[in-house]
Amino acid sequence: MKIEELRKKIIEDNINIKVIRAIVDEKIILANATGCYSDDNNIWHIYSVGDRNNFRIVESGDEEVIIQHFYEMIKSMNETYKEYGDVWS
């Protein structure tokens, strides 16, 4: 999946990225967030930020693989939110 496809899928699947703190195509340090971004070498990364703003890269690779994994992660997080509410606070 490419980043443009991800943006479309987020809308189609009604994934609330604000509530689940999913950051698309940017590296932002935000407590309890998960995101994806591309570095200067066009390597894509999935990252997580803990409650104390500790940043860590979870997975790195090519765009299609990383964006697909990120989509699966945020889809699951969104389903959890819909079922149980805000379990991250």
Give the pLDDT confidence score for residue 63 in this predicted structure: 98
The boundaries of the domain holding residue 59 are: 3-80
Assess if residue 68 is contained within a domain.
yes
Assess if residue 87 is contained within a domain.
no
Q: CB–CB of 62/70 below 8 Å?
A: no
Q: In what order do the strands lie in the sheet with 33-38?
A: 22-24, 33-38, 44-49, 55-61
Q: Find the Cα–Cα–Cα–Cα dihedral 21, 83, 59, 24, rounded to 10°.
A: -30
Assess if residue 89 is contained within a domain.
no
Assess if residue 30 is contained within a domain.
yes
Tell me how many domains the chain contains.
1
Q: What is the pTM of this model?
A: 0.90
Assess if residue 85 is contained within a domain.
no
Per-residue pLDDT of the chain (89 residues; tens, 9 = 90+): 999 999 999 999 999 999 999 999 999 999 999 999 999 999 999 999 999 999 999 999 999 999 999 999 999 999 988 877 765 55
Assess if residue 7 is contained within a domain.
yes
